[in-house]
Amino acid sequence: MESLGEEPWDVVICGTGLQQSLLALALSRSKKRILHTDPNYYYGQYEAALTLQEAESFAAKHAGGSSEAEKKRSVVRNAAVWKPDDAEAQGLKFPRAYSLALAPQIIHTKSKLLSSLVSSRAYRQVEFLAVGSFFVYEPAKDGSDPKLSRIPSSREDVFSSQSIPARSKRSLMKFLKFVLDFESDDQKPLWEAHADASLTDFLTAQFKLEDDLKRYVVALTMALDGKASVRSGLAAINRHLTSMGMFGPGFCAVYPKWGGLSEIAQVACRAGAVGGGIYMLDTSATMKPSGENEKASLELPNGITVQADSVISGQETTASVQAISRLIAVVKSPLNSLFQVLVEGAPTPAVAVVALPSTPSPIYAVIHSSDTGECPVGQCVVYLTTLATAGSKHELEQALVMLVYAVEGEDSTSPCLYQLYYEQALGDRQSTTENHGTTPALSFPPLSATIAFEDSDLEAVKTAWSLVSGDESDEDTYLVFEDREGADAEDEVYE
């Protein structure tokens, strides 16, 4: 351990969140001397996947207890765990049978994240599962039960739908054709003048879409405030439609097995370790005051001080007043009807997405089958997300009941076995850099707490890579690696 203080580190990376871990991957072939620490005893930080025991520790750590001002600045706050008194008797298994993802984002197949995993050869260490249907919750009306209506996500879906009238199909097809080519010179004049206006109003004025169809279209934007602009909404729907069929029929997005973005973070850290990086979990690194002409010094819990040419970390506090509320629920039901194969040759989906109308903002439920490895067979994990308000916890709990009832009907006897609730600040989208003596220190912003992974979160990683690489940086080599010597396509190249 004493040798750590004697080593001249090129960079100390604090935290194993997705962004820090991708930076470790990007530097894994650079021969830089890298020390990578995390105060937790598990990988992933705010993108971790937790056992039930870890979830309870997470909730205790982020429950509050500090002043209201400090709570408002925390990235995660108001966390709480609930389970029925007889949860084990009802079917809750041992703690390690579960892997609850703090970052359950789906990843569209056109995402730059997937491209980076392919070019860096890290994709071989991740097992991806198909994201299946997208639904909209339809409340009970005219004596009928509530139901989930599947959103048409392709031209074939529209043509085969029995619930959309022929005239409405023509309007919807016109819109789909437009959005697939919305950035062309022919289509831009139709929307650029309305770029910052409401997408809902645009759909009415330009395409005469009826309310049900507008609800489908807006749901595909996955905007947490339900108020997508024309510019952002068209981009999101275009991403959805153009991702369809890219890796196979019947799906437009994927999900990493065993815990979402946490799995990618662990694979990236493994690459960093193979490249020579030193990893220390359950170890915090505290910045010490530095003189004007000194390198940054960081103190480890054992009293050892290390010095580095650069320091990269994640922001632990935020001035943002906007946050999301997330409820992670383990349900004693496989909810099989949500994971049907609807296109010949398509893989069995392991994830489904449901948009539920709510006030003041919509609720999105992302349902994971046991195929994700996050729960035992016969159960599923439901991730419910909405913008945080004083009553959002109750709204999410009600949405869970509504969702299960819509899937299973009035005969439903599927109890909720476990719940983890927390609020997470959305934060600024910009990284911050300051100097400690002669050492630059960059802090990543919190990852976007969205339903689908945002490629904009990768920009800060490249900025940090350029900072650490200095004059050696060459954009053509960023996250582009050849196979290691002796490895072939079937090898576990990081082990």
Using CB atoms within 10 Å of the CB of residue 185, give its burial: 0 to 12 exposed, 13 to 18 middle, 19+ buried. Answer: exposed
Task: From 446, 457, 460, select the one nearest 315 (Cα to Cα).
Answer: 446
Q: What confidence tier does 71 reach under pLDDT thresholds 50, 70, 90? A: low
Residue 492 reports pLDDT greater than 50: no
Q: What is the CA radius of gyration of the chain?
A: 24
Residue 65 reports pLDDT greater than 80: no
Q: What confidence tier does 224 reach under pLDDT thresholds 50, 70, 90? A: very high
Tokens read off for 69: 């001002």
pLDDT, tens digit, for every residue of 171-222?
Answer: 999 999 999 999 999 999 999 999 999 999 999 999 999 998 999 999 999 9
Residue 369 reports pLDDT greater than 80: yes
Domain spanning 154-243, CATH class: mainly alpha
Residue 490 reports pLDDT greater than 90: no
pLDDT, tens digit, for every residue of 116-138?
Answer: 999 999 999 999 999 999 999 99
Beta-carbon contacts of residue 353 (< 8 Å; ≥ 6 apart)? 106, 131, 133, 134, 135, 222, 364, 365, 366, 367, 451
Into which CATH architecture does domain 2-50+259-317+429-477 fall?
3-Layer(bba) Sandwich (3.50)
Asked if CATH classification 3.30.519 holds for the domain at 52-97+128-151+249-256+321-425, the reply, yes or no, is: yes
pLDDT at 412: 76
Write down the domain spans for the chain. Answer: 2-50+259-317+429-477, 52-97+128-151+249-256+321-425, 154-243
> Whole-model pTM?
0.94
pLDDT at 494: 32
Using CB atoms within 10 Å of the CB of residue 281, give its burial: 0 to 12 exposed, 13 to 18 middle, 19+ buried. Answer: middle
CA distance 39 to 391: 32
Summary mean pLDDT of the chain: 91
Helix (H, G, I), strand (E, B) or coil at 160: helix
Region of residue 68 (phi > 0: left; psi between -120 and 50: alpha; otherwise: beta) = alpha
Beta-carbon contacts of residue 278 (< 8 Å; ≥ 6 apart)? 4, 34, 35, 36
Cβ atoms of 43 and 16 within 8 Å: the answer is: yes
pLDDT, tens digit, for every residue of 399-456?
Answer: 999 999 999 987 777 899 999 999 998 867 788 899 888 899 999 988 888 999 999 9
pLDDT at 318: 74
52-56, 103-107, 315-319: range with lowest mean pLDDT = 315-319
